[in-house]
Chains A and B, each alone.
Chain A
Amino acid sequence: MFCAMANVRLVDADQAPLLARPYYERGDPGPIVAALAQVPEVLEACLPFLGVVYGRSAVPARRKELVALRTSALLRCRYCVEAHTVVALDAGVSPAEVRALLGLEPTEAVFADPAELTLLAWVDAVAGGVGPVDPSLRAGLAGHFDDYEVVELTLLAGATLMLNRFCTALELPTSPETLRRLAAAGVAGAVR
């Protein structure tokens, strides 16, 4: 499965608890599931939630990945940055945009869409700050996004914050396939 990097035991398929077994039916479920499988009732509640938050929805996948990757970069979650970089590339985010989301380039120099720049400012305030969020940022979003989109994207930032800390604290290992994809895209050095 994975190299032994995590600081909790990742549950193998042959030890998968009964409620976790559906997540192993199509092979390696990844380290988040393999860790959550230690507590099947939590896994059973979390995975449907995460599936809805990160899955296909009314909000375009590209915008969702901008939020997930930017949040993960702000929280310096190595696992989430590597995983979401691959997903972001698949969702149409360019390698240059990945570097900007990682803070290696100014976002204003790479992103041209005012809606996306406004969204990134919102994410920086929500995920990178504490206390109340500047009302002017919320007002700025209103010009580009409906309320339902603001709700979904903000929840996505929050869920990503949770996973960032979970994956970082437990030192979850990135799969060899993800590392190969990062190398093939020429961004492996940027995300490490």
Chain B
Amino acid sequence: MTTAGAIAEAVAVGVLPGRVWLYSNYHCNLACTYCLTDSAPGVPRRVLPADHMLALAEEARDLGFTALGVTGGEPFLVSNMAEVLARLAELLPVVVLSNGTLFRGRRLEWLRPLAGLPVKIQISLDHAEPEPNDAARGEGCHATVLSAITRLRELGIGVRVATTGDEATDADRERLCALHRELGIGDEDHVVRPVVRRGRAAEAGLGRAVGPSDLPPELTITADGAFWSPFGPTVQGGRLDTDLLLTRTTLPLATPAGALLRLVEGRPRGADAGMGIR
């Protein structure tokens, strides 16, 4: 069997997850305390060019992958991101992660063409109340995000909510879930994930330490190479971590996908389920 055939079969039977992640950029208008990529306004941008993203998406589809994820940094700081997302969505369904603080005025209008496309914007919202949310994410984020979710839904754009941190009490979680339901976001579109002790979180002593056995092998492409997981290409003290690096080659995508498959085949199915990082 060819490498491409083996990858397609591995995705089809669930040995490899179906989603390929693309790190569009590393800079961000926020500087969250637990950020994996040490993102902030002034950091090196590490931009994955649009034509590279499209070539990766096309090959991902041809290899049998079934979905794309776009993350950063804040992807919507890349000026043509809405157009890129629309073109990616012609190839595979897309979820794009965002802090949700930029969707006003002209930037909101730019997103209008995404209405009705298989694109969902996954927006970070950690708490039902502004104070604890904004302590980690930045002053005013909570109110801005709630407004953005409403506006995006009014435009007909799919929205998910992501909560980072799994230390909340049942009562905290219930208030947060009541809020996202009130905003029209169902439970199936609410993702909860732990703080991972990498990047800025590691410098602050936050979160859980993880290794490859804790993380699903989700092929992740950045300007610096291909990684085991979107939790892999982290930055600490300005230096990119390479412990979860697969290959520096990203095109052809079959090169890192083949390397990922060889590594996965060396471990038992389900071995990544321990910490629920999915």
Q: What's the minimum C-beta distance from A10 to chain B, rounded to whole angstroms?
A: 12
Residue ID in chain B nearest A21 by CB atoms: B243
Residue ID in chain B nearest A9 by CB atoms: B239
Contact: B247 with A15, CB < 8 Å?
no
Q: Which residues of B contact A16 (CB under 8 A)?
A: 242-243
| Cα-based distance from A39 to B248 in the complex (angstroms) | 6
Interface residues in A1-15 (C-beta closer than 8 Å to B): 11, 14-15
Contact: B212 with A18, CB < 8 Å?
yes
The main secondary structure of chain A at its interface with chain B is helix
Contact: B245 with A41, CB < 8 Å?
no
**Any B CB within 8 A of the CB of A158:** no
| Cα-based distance from A44 to B259 in the complex (angstroms) | 10
Q: Which residues of A contact B248 (CB under 8 A)?
A: 38-42
Interface centre among A17, A38, A41 (most CB of B within 10 A): A17
| Cα-based distance from A41 to B243 in the complex (angstroms) | 14
Interface residues in B201-255 (C-beta closer than 8 Å to A): 212, 228, 241-249, 255
Question: A19 and B263 in contact (CB under 8 A), knowing A11-B242, A14-B243, A41-B255?
Answer: yes
Q: What's the minimum C-beta distance from A67 to chain B, rounded to whole angstroms?
A: 32
Question: A40 and B245 in contact (CB under 8 A), knowing A18-B212, A18-B228, A18-B263?
Answer: yes
Q: Which residues of A contact B249 (CB under 8 A)?
A: 41
Q: Which residues of A contact B244 (CB under 8 A)?
A: 17-18
Q: Which residues of B contact A15 (CB under 8 A)?
A: 241-243
Q: Which residues of A contact B245 (CB under 8 A)?
A: 17-18, 40
Q: Which residues of B contact A41 (CB under 8 A)?
A: 247-249, 255, 259
How many residues of A are counted as interface, with CB atoms below 8 angstroms from the partner's CB atoms? 14
Q: What's the minimum C-beta distance from A29 to chain B, rounded to whole angstroms?
A: 15
Contact: A19 with B246, CB < 8 Å?
yes
Contact: A17 with B255, CB < 8 Å?
no
Q: Which residues of B contact A37 (CB under 8 A)?
A: 242
| Cα-based distance from A18 to B248 in the complex (angstroms) | 12
Interface residues in A36-50 (C-beta closer than 8 Å to B): 37-42, 44
Q: What's the minimum C-beta distance from B244 to chain A, rounded to whole angstroms?
A: 7
| Cα-based distance from A14 to B242 in the complex (angstroms) | 9
| Cα-based distance from A72 to B241 in the complex (angstroms) | 34
Residue ID in chain B nearest A11 by CB atoms: B242
| Cα-based distance from A19 to B259 in the complex (angstroms) | 8
Q: Which residues of A contact B263 (CB under 8 A)?
A: 18-19
Q: What's the minimum C-beta distance from B107 to chain A, rounded to whole angstroms?
A: 37
| Cα-based distance from A15 to B237 in the complex (angstroms) | 14
Q: Which residues of A contact B241 (CB under 8 A)?
A: 15
| Cα-based distance from A19 to B246 in the complex (angstroms) | 7
| Cα-based distance from A15 to B245 in the complex (angstroms) | 9
30 CB-based A-B contacts, threshold 8 Å: A11-B242, A14-B243, A16-B242, A16-B243, A17-B242, A17-B243, A17-B245, A17-B246, A18-B212, A18-B228, A18-B243, A18-B246, A18-B259, A18-B263, A19-B246, A19-B247, A19-B259, A19-B263, A38-B248, A39-B247, A39-B248, A40-B245, A40-B246, A40-B247, A40-B248, A40-B259, A41-B247, A41-B248, A41-B255, A44-B259
Q: 9 other contacts beyond A39-B247, A39-B248, with CB at 8 A cut-off?
A: A17-B246, A18-B243, A18-B244, A38-B242, A40-B246, A40-B247, A40-B259, A41-B255, A42-B248
Q: Which 5 A-B pairs have the closest CB atoms?
A: A17-B245, A41-B247, A15-B242, A39-B248, A17-B242
